[in-house]
Amino acid sequence: MSAKVLLCRCEDVTLAEVEHAIDAGQRDIESLKRFTGFGTGWCQGKQCLVACSRVLEERTGAFPQAPVTPRPPVHPMPLGLLATLGDAVSVDRVASDDEDGER
């Protein structure tokens, strides 16, 4: 059996899958992420985002202008610890970069 090239280890997304998605029309990094699910796992894109961006560049000729939107938490954290913050942190909090709606 042939070797798989893994671009996103956390979600088991292969190079073949990313190339298929680009050929299917997902020609910007945010759409590519939504289509394949790369960058949505344990490491939140630490290892795969640039690898996928480079494939996009090789396939479309352009490296993305900006990365996908980084959202908290950047590092996995136990829910039990998050729960202790209830009194300190109000629940209606939003990350700064979510203020402009869709992004």
Partner 1 sequence: MAPRRIDVRAVTKGRDSSVLRALYEYASPEASGPCTIEYDGRAIAAREGEPIAISLLAAGIDTLSRSVKFHRPRGPSCLRANCEGCLSRIDGEPNRMACTVPSRDGRVVRAQNAFPSAQVDFMRITDWFFPKQFDHHHLMVRYGTAINEAMQGFARKMAGLGTLPEQPSSALGPEEIDRDVLVVGLGPAGLSIAESLAKAGLSVLAVDEEPTAGGLVRDSLSLHALDAKLVCGPAYGDALLARARAAGVDVRLGASACATFDDGTIVISGERALWVRAKARVFANGCHESIAPFGDNDMPGVYTARAAARALRYGVRVGDAVLVCGTDADDDALCDALSAAGARVERLSAGQTLVEATGLGSVTGAVVRGASETHKIKCDAIVPVTVRTPAFELAGQAGVEAARDGARRCFAVRADESGRTERRDVFAAGSVALGGRSSARELAVVQAVVAFVGRGGAA
In the complex, the residues that contact partner 1 under the rule CB under 8 A are 1-17, 20, 35-37, 41-51, 53-55, 57, 63-67, 69-85, 87-89, 93, 95-97
Residue 2 vs 61, nearer CB to partner 1: 2
Check if the beta carbon of residue 15 is closer than 8 Å to that of residue 7. Answer: yes
Q: How near is the Cβ of 14 to partner 1 at its closest, in Å?
A: 5
Per DSSP, the residues of 66-103 read S-PPP-S-SS---HHHHHHTTTTS-TT---GGGTTTT-
Q: How near is the Cβ of 89 to partner 1 at its closest, in Å?
A: 6
